[in-house]
Amino acid sequence: MALKLEPGAKLVAATHNPGKARELAALLEGRFEVVTAGALGLGEPEETESTFVGNALLKARAAAEASGLIALADDSGLSVRALGGAPGIYSARWAGPDKDFALAMSKVEKRLEEVEEDDRHAWFTCALAVAWPGGPAVVVEGIVKGELTFPPRGGLGFGYDPIFIPEGHEITFGEMDPAAKDAISHRARAFEMLRATLF
C-alpha cells in the first residue's frame, strides 16, 4: 500500500480538545475532508504509553479501528527543563478533571518555586500520527523551544499558551495571532514533516 494521502481524502481528526482541533483544521484546511472524533461519537482511549509518539499512535489506531477511516491524532505537551521535563506527557492531566489550565499553569509556577530554580527554559512537543484502518501508521514529532513567564499573559490559543514565550519572540503564544502561532509551533513543525512524508 502506498502511504500517501490523496487530496480530498476523508480523515478523522482523533482529538477531543477543541483548541487542538481548531489548529489541526487550520493546518489541514482545504486539503482533506475532515470529520471530528466528537462528530462520530468516538470514545477517548486511555493514554497508557510513556512517550508522545506512543500515545499519538495509540489514539490514531483506536480512532481508525473505531471509524474505518484514516485517522490523524495529536499527542502533545509542555516540558520544563528545571522540572526534569514535567509535565510532559502528563500536561493534560495536570489540569485535572475540569481541564482547568489556570490551575495547571499555577502548578508549574509553584513547582518552580519549590525547586528554587531560575531556569525558565521549556519546550512544547507535538507528535502527530496517521493510521490507516487495519493497516500501517506514520508518526512524526515537532518541538518549539522557549521560556516560561508568570503571571500568564493573553487569552488566545489554549492550554499552557499564556505562560510560553517562543524563542526569538517577546510575546506569549496566548498573545499571538493564531496564524503567527501556526507558522512556528510544535504542531506546525510536526505537520511540515507529515506533509513531506505523506502528501
Binding site for ligand ITT (CB under 6 A): 15-17, 20, 44, 47, 59, 74-78, 91-92, 95, 124, 157-161, 173, 185, 187
Least Å distance, CB 99 to ligand ITT, is 7
Residue whose CB is less far from ligand ITT, 79 or 112: 79
Strands (E), 14-171: 33-36, 70-80, 121-131, 137-148, 164-166
List strand residue ranges (DSSP E) for 1-136, in order.
10-13, 33-36, 70-80, 121-131
Query: What number of residues does the chain have?
Result: 199
> Which residue number has the CB closest to ligand ITT?
159
Annotated catalytic residue 75: yes
Of 78 and 82, CB closest to ligand ITT: 78
Q: Which of 6, 163 has the CB closer to ligand ITT? A: 163
Least gap, CB of 75 to ligand ITT (angstroms): 4
Q: Is the dihedral of CA 106, 111, 117, 119 positive or negative?
A: negative
In the complex, minimum distance from the CB of residue 95 to ligand ITT, in angstroms, rounded to a whole number:
6
| Dist. CA 75–CA 68, nearest whole Å | 21
**What's the min distance (Å) between Cβ of 104 and ligand ITT?**
7
Residue carrying the nine cell digits 499555577: 106
Active-site residue, from 75, 98, 118, 177: 75
Residue number, 152 or 159, with CB nearest to ligand ITT: 159
What cell does 161 get? Answer: 499558551
Residues whose CB is less than 8 angstroms from the CB of residue 17 and which lie 6 or more positions away in sequence, other chains included? 92, 158, 159
Catalytic sites, residue numbers: 75
